[in-house]
Chain A
């Protein structure tokens, strides 16, 4: 009885082909549409060849290491395997196999690539997808250098690009963000490889879509191809000049001119957008996506983006730039070239900040405190000329208050956080907080690299940040006092050094201590020592 009922149910819906979900890649959506059209035309043999080029749970890949040095080849192979392991963790029934020929996915490497329009950086990798059976289904060409050839690609970047390529193979469209199989970066940031729940659902739905096509072909059931056709209005938005705190609205229209519902969702690249993020537009109908932008947390020229994802192959991913200028209600500025970090010596130090208030705004401080360090604060009305580099404004006349903080050196060891708390008469800006650091010399935070427990035989990694903002320095060498650890120092943007300590997995159980010694080009701090602690179990 069940079979009969289900057959009837399937037949009643069998006239319309499957639709790729929104969030799937343009290539995947086109594939679904093309295969559906072949089935609609009754060309099942060609449709089968086509569907065989679409994702399935058994995946083969080949790694072309031609341009990779012999020393790095094993780590690249391992990184790609690790990426496949992460996918397998989310989908235990998937199988990944490295092969020498006839691969679904090919990984290859080139020395460098041209700039990406999206990121403004040289591309870290490029994906090519093909329905031509003489080519791999997908090829990921990965650059061996990043940041205009300045930095050799790290193993973690290879893993990230391979992970992204596997996601793309399964029909996942690129999405802004820092985590997920849909995300990647051309920069140096290492993204954490994880298949987020929404992506897990998307991959499953993509595979169900392919399975539905496959079943129609096997049973030679004719389908009408679902044609999703949409028009998206307002492909760019200028919010104009708005005062900080205002909430401009952005409206994006979606019109459905196809024969099936359009599913859509919107992802912003900024958490300042509040969106009812998903919806459906029925055939012949229009739908409006309303996005509100919160401008209370920042000011200056804005360039942000909204990404609309639909199940229309011609509008699978639509990028909508949002531009404008937010006039800040107030600014807390500094004329100190060292930026947010104030230096104190053994006799203490003086920090000066300016609260500048925009024309027409009523913000009057009645109490100002400094938290996190010992000190006293005085403030007085002020007018003068200051630049505001953070929002791209040069020196210009400003009005407000001059705030002087006299910091006591007691209790400051290395680098500590301090907060200036300005309490005002304005209900909308009752309490203005301004964070800064107070530091003595080059400092590590944390000042001890603590591993906690490490399992005997396993390798572990920990790090600290070495800073002296405003007074750049160089680390000339890095070493460990113990052969159980290796120490490296990586320069990061802003003159910070990331001191990475790796435990090599060979110590006997028990407490393990060592010192990371770093030599610098700073005459007053030629050597920096950071203790390392761990317990081997």
Chain B
């Protein structure tokens, strides 16, 4: 026995001496996702972060010789035609940028199987699911192996199906001599639990709200990472051959120049939205009639001039410049009365309503211009937050913003 031990030690030592001076191969892993339909930054505060044009430009810049790029869902934020087109657009961009693996989120799975199959096809068939999932008659790949990694998925931490999937990822990686990476829709706490249970996992990508953690989270040797919500950030990690290190968060701010290829794909999205006339299909629940700000001018000249000099008067121009003028999600906060069948339709048809005008805050002026004793129906101060909400105008404070348009 002792002789065998000495022999083994000698061989090990000798092989060690003969080993190549080259260290283990290093890899870069880039993680993005949780786009939830936010293909473009939107809002009234600068700088706004996010958007797929910046994201794929940044990915291009971060790529090294050995790179693994992972994307997590949700691609979309619900059902409906616009969400489908958004999902298809993002999927196309993933393919164009050669992203390696995509993991659908729960909102994605709520879509029709044919729709999800289209996302999968347009992404270059990179969607994976370790829990067996069928899209009509086509099953998703259960894992991805690239370089030293085997990437698997688990919907959550607690269900048996997910635990089996995690176990399978770990087992398959071990059998193949690879390092297991898990993409999951679980929360940070659940991801930590997974890391404590499956200690050989090297990386867990989980779902979170808000911005990503500024510091790396390690449970043993497993690093826990989330790209944060609405596709505003990317995470970059370096693999040193044993574990992940150099956790970096990249904010997708305006300093990043748009990726030309993704910009082309995004322009196609805008065109599809226009061509399919989604703006005409908006659910209009009221019959309120609007008159436009010009009608207010004869009696409220001073107020009109102040308004005319403000950004509100140019709100629709902003969308024309960006190409989003037919996107119902954007238009609702840039015009008057999109929720009414007598409100904004399109700039050529209702030019007087292509603005954030007097009636956006004060309500319909149609009764008031016929009889000035009839007051406009809305409290202007309260109406601000319908657009200046936490989502699009997180820094909104009436007292600070009011002086800009005081009239």
Residues of A participating in the B interface, judged by any CB pair closer than 8 Å: 1-2, 5-6, 8-9, 12, 177-179, 188-192, 194, 196-198, 200-202, 265, 268, 271-278, 292-294, 296-297, 372, 410-411, 413, 415-417, 419, 435, 437, 444-448, 450, 452-453, 462-465, 492, 496, 498, 533, 535
Contact = CB atoms under 8 A, between A and B. Distances in A.
Interface of B: 4, 7-8, 10-11, 14, 18, 78-81, 84, 88, 91-92, 95-96, 110-115, 117-118, 121-122, 131-132, 136-139, 141-143, 145, 150, 159-161, 163-165, 167-168, 171-173, 175-178, 268, 272, 276, 281, 283
Contacts of A498: 136-137
A276 B131 CA distance: 17
A278 B114 CA distance: 37
Contacts of A268: 164
Contacts of A190: 137-138
A417 B76 CA distance: 14
A462 B160 contact: no
B160 A272 contact: yes
Contact of B173 (A191, A197, A447, A492): A197
A198 B169 CA distance: 10
Nearest to B173: A197
Contact of B142 (A196, A272, A410): A196
Contact of B132 (A178, A274, A276, A296): A178
A189 B281 CA distance: 38
Contact of B11 (A6, A177, A533): A6
Contact of B137 (A189, A462, A464): A189
Nearest to B121: A462
Given A2-B18, A447-B81, A498-B136, A194 B141 contact: yes
Contacts of A273: 160, 164
A198 to B, nearest CB: 5
B114 A446 contact: yes
Contacts of B161: 271-272, 294, 297
Contacts of A447: 81
21 contacts: A1-B14, A5-B7, A5-B11, A8-B7, A192-B138, A196-B145, A197-B175, A272-B164, A275-B164, A278-B171, A293-B160, A294-B161, A411-B80, A417-B110, A444-B114, A445-B115, A450-B122, A462-B118, A464-B114, A465-B112, A492-B136
Contacts of B118: 446, 450, 462, 464
A271 B132 contact: yes
Given A197-B173, A410-B283, A413-B81, A189 B139 contact: yes
Given A2-B18, A272-B160, A417-B112, A192 B139 contact: yes
The winner among A274, A450, A465 for most chain B CB atoms within 10 A is A450
Contacts of A8: 7
Given A9-B7, A446-B118, A492-B136, 14 more contacts: A12-B7, A179-B141, A197-B172, A271-B164, A275-B167, A277-B168, A292-B160, A297-B160, A411-B283, A416-B80, A417-B112, A445-B113, A448-B276, A462-B118
A452 B92 contact: yes
A486 to B, nearest CB: 17
Contacts of A276: 167
B83 to A, nearest CB: 11
A274 B7 contact: no
A6 B18 CA distance: 14
Given A178-B132, A462-B121, A450 B171 contact: no
Contacts of A201: 175-177
A293 B178 CA distance: 28
Contacts of B10: 5
A450 to B, nearest CB: 5
- List the 9 closest A-B pairs by CB distance, nearest first: A294-B160, A197-B176, A465-B114, A445-B112, A178-B139, A271-B161, A445-B114, A197-B145, A198-B175
Contacts of B84: 446
Most A CB contacts (10 A, CB to CB) among B132, B159, B160 go to: B160
B2 to A, nearest CB: 13
B143 A196 contact: yes
B128 to A, nearest CB: 10
Nearest to A372: B79
Contacts of B113: 445, 465
Nearest to B114: A465
A271 B142 CA distance: 12
B131 A271 contact: yes
A5, A435, A498 — most chain B CB neighbours (10 Å)? A5
Nearest to A21: B175
A449 to B, nearest CB: 8
Q: Which of A372, A448, A492 has the most CB of B within 10 A?
A: A448
B17 to A, nearest CB: 10
Contacts of A198: 172, 175-176
Contact of B167 (A191, A274, A413): A274
